[in-house]
Chains A and B, each alone.
Chain A
Amino acid sequence: MFCILFWISVICHLLPEQAKQQLINGLALGAIYALIALGYTMVYGVLRFINFAHGDVFMLGAFAGYFLSPLVSRLLPAKSYLSGAVVLVLAMLICAALGMLIEFLAYRPLRNRPKLIVLITAIGVSLFIEYTCQHKAVFGAAPRSFPDLIPASNLHFGSLVVSSSQVIVLVTTLLLLVALTFIVQKTKIGTAMRAVSFNEKAAALMGINVNFIISFTFGLGSALAAAGGILYAMSYASIDPLMGVQTGLKAFVAAVLGGIGNLPGAALGGVFLGLVETIAGGIPEISPYRDAIAFAILILILLIRPAGLLGKMQPEKV
């Protein structure tokens, strides 16, 4: 691990300044993709279906931050790191509850139905959230500008400029990844999650409350998506009810890239995708195709490794 980090840092030193700048921008975008991709991959791990509504939970997270920020700034000093953190945690809790609610209302009644049915339901849930939020009585379709959560400043490293929001994005993502790894690998509930993912029936026979674990997984994934939403809104300053569609799709691509169902794979896929997109955006000849690049890479990688970068090929059983 450290060896890899060492070599990456050596390579980074050899790069020209502009490339380093792009690298930082790409990492910040990739970190957000990674956070959303983790939710897709976790749900796929336990339920084996693509939760299309996940991108909308990401959007709801950003809107939760939008509405919470003035409330929180009444109690705590506005634009401070403390109030920013409080907004983040509250939005994560709200979205965790929403994610669990979606699972309970829409997916649980369909637990034993064919995957395709659940997939279409997920698309229906996604449309429902998007259309409801676009209604003028809810959020309205017009974009809103996201309030500054933290003091805006730029850090200078030589000629490199790193904005404080980029630092926050990277640091928050790292902390969340560490926390997630701890939950999944070291806690009892994480062990249960892995057991359900491995074999749901056997897990149930071992006394694991499968419903609770699935609910918890949705909550965890949705909380990460909410964090991604707030970090995204901080970086791009504009939110609208359809912001989750493209970002959600790309994060899903990231999850598939890394091998769906594989947690480190999702993080890796997210960072990879963010880097590639940012680098492509910096080259004038390909920048108009920026949005297509994610999918082109996905197709190429799946042709070479059908189960994704870190995924394991499952032998087909008759």
Chain B
Amino acid sequence: MFAGSKRYLIAAILFAAALSPLLSWIASAHPSKIWDRYYLGIAIDIGINIILAVSLNLINGHTGQFSLGHAGFMAVGAYTAASLTWGAEAAKTSPLLGGIIFALALLAGGGTAAVAGLAVGVPSLRLRGDYLAIVTLGFGEIIRVILQTTDTMVRNWELDPTGGLARLLENMGGASGMKGIATLTNFGWAWALAAVTVFVIAALVNSTYGRGFLAVHDDEVAAGAMGINPVRYKVTAFVIGAFFAGVAGGLYAHHKQYLNPNGFDFMKSIDIVVMVILGGMGRTVGVIIAAVLLTLLPEWLRMLPSFTLGNVPIQLTDFRLIIYSLLIIGLMMARPQGLFTFGKARGGKA
């Protein structure tokens, strides 16, 4: 039953699930510096970013499309999941019931994001390259703007303020953000779902069906001549990628307990794209390593020392975003194939 790579998947999920109560126990029993919420929070961030990067890798890496709208899918999933768990008091009292509600909310978040992915995938019927990139960027921006105006919708559409829809929209908070989301994400959820994502996408790409993604990446025309329908593969990649981005969004919402539309702007998409590129497009392991490193990097840069040069105090932490941007440029010049790419590229251009 659990043949081949499925074993590793089961092991990873069990590992994450077992580690989770252990970690939270340590965190509560020893409120020391190492295990406090800050470090645990970063560990959860890493899990979420792995899901985001690996799912974008399916679109940008394996299938060779260029999507700049991944944060938009994430936003759709985050807001859907958060709206579903909102007001579910049972989630706070019973851990089991809370877990079931959370799982359903995450699935729904992924589902709505997948519908958004379908909406983005359809223009790719006719568009490619830069044009597709700008359309995905546009979709992300449209989603952001719509989320910014949820509270004004109630007034503009003259909805009954006591009605369910109006209260839901009001609760999403528009530009001021959605507050008071239950904390349901923990280490186990984030890392177990990261394992599921990695497994599903790796298994998909390595399956007979999934070879089509690589074929579309290598040469769309040749793939079409071989009887592979490039459009179908591209749309599939967008739908599946968006689904996992939506799940990651749901985890994110229940981790940060606060959502703001501006957190899902074009820059967030770029962050995920950088993870994929740094890891080497289409290299699952590399992309995972890049996701881990790029989540840790801003935190490391936060710890940079400050010193005085002559009479001028210089705080290196002020430079951390500048350093981040310089790193992107430097890496593109020095190792454009990705940091963790060694040997011959698989599924790369001939």
Q: Residues of A with Cβ closer than 8 Å to B? A: 44, 49-50, 106, 109-110, 113-121, 123-125, 127-128, 130-132, 134-136, 245, 249, 252-253, 256, 260, 284-285, 288-289, 291-292, 294-296, 298-299, 302-303, 306-307, 316, 318
Contact = CB atoms under 8 A, between A and B. Distances in A.
A151 to B, nearest CB: 37
B129 to A, nearest CB: 8
B176 to A, nearest CB: 14
Nearest to B277: A120
Given A127-B321, A292-B146, 19 more contacts: A50-B130, A50-B133, A110-B332, A110-B333, A110-B336, A117-B336, A119-B133, A120-B277, A123-B328, A127-B325, A135-B319, A249-B141, A256-B134, A260-B130, A288-B152, A295-B141, A299-B123, A302-B126, A318-B221
Interface of B: 66, 123, 126-127, 129-131, 133-135, 137-139, 141-142, 145-146, 148-149, 152, 156, 221-222, 266, 270, 273-274, 277, 281, 318-319, 321-322, 324-326, 328-329, 332-333, 336, 349
* Residue picked from B133, B221, B222, B322, most chain A C-beta under 10 Å: B322
Given A292-B141, A303-B126, A124 B135 contact: no
B121 to A, nearest CB: 13
Contact of A121 (B123, B131, B322, B333): B333
Contacts of A121: 328-329, 332-333
Contacts of A289: 145-146, 149
Given A110-B332, A117-B336, A131 B325 contact: yes
B146 A117 contact: no
A117 B145 contact: no
Contacts of A245: 266
Given A120-B332, A124-B328, A295-B142, A288 B149 contact: yes
Nearest to B175: A288
Given A285-B156, A306-B131, A123 B66 contact: no
A114 B336 contact: yes
Contacts of B156: 284-285, 288
A253 B138 contact: yes
B261 to A, nearest CB: 11
B142 A296 contact: yes
Nearest to A252: B134
A27 to B, nearest CB: 24
Contacts, number: 117
A121 B334 CA distance: 11
A117 B324 contact: no
Contacts of B123: 299, 302-303
A106 B321 CA distance: 18
| Binding site secondary structure of chain B | helix
A130 B322 CA distance: 9
A303 B66 CA distance: 17
Contacts of B329: 106, 121, 124-125, 128
A127 B324 contact: yes
A307 B336 CA distance: 29
Contacts of B146: 289, 292
Contacts of A134: 321
Contacts of A117: 332, 336
A292 B145 contact: yes
A302 B131 contact: yes
Contact of A113 (B221, B336, B349): B336
A287 to B, nearest CB: 9
Given A110-B333, A121-B333, A127-B328, A295 B149 contact: no
A121 B329 CA distance: 5
18 contacts: A50-B134, A127-B321, A131-B321, A131-B322, A135-B319, A135-B322, A249-B141, A249-B266, A256-B130, A285-B156, A292-B145, A295-B142, A299-B135, A302-B126, A302-B127, A302-B131, A303-B123, A306-B126
B290 to A, nearest CB: 13
A18 B221 CA distance: 52
Given A50-B130, A292-B146, A306-B126, A120 B152 contact: no
Contacts of A110: 332-333, 336
A232 to B, nearest CB: 20
7 tightest Cβ-Cβ pairs between the two chains A and B: A295-B138, A124-B328, A127-B325, A292-B145, A128-B325, A124-B329, A131-B321
A134 B267 CA distance: 16
B336 A136 contact: no
Contact of B274 (A44, A120, A252, A288): A120
Contacts of A303: 123, 126
A303 B138 CA distance: 13
A116 B322 CA distance: 22
A113 B152 CA distance: 47
Contacts of A253: 134, 138
A117 B266 CA distance: 18
B328 A120 contact: yes
B321 A124 contact: no
Contacts of A318: 221-222
A258 B349 CA distance: 31
A318 B326 CA distance: 38
Nearest to B60: A116
Contacts of B321: 127, 131, 134
A109 B329 CA distance: 11
Contacts of B138: 253, 294-296, 298-299
Contacts of B135: 298-299, 302
B229 to A, nearest CB: 16
A295 B270 CA distance: 18
A115 B138 CA distance: 20
B273 A292 contact: no
B5 to A, nearest CB: 30
A41 to B, nearest CB: 12
A288 B326 CA distance: 36
A132 B328 contact: no
B217 to A, nearest CB: 12
A241 to B, nearest CB: 12
Given A131-B325, A135-B319, A289-B146, A124 B141 contact: no
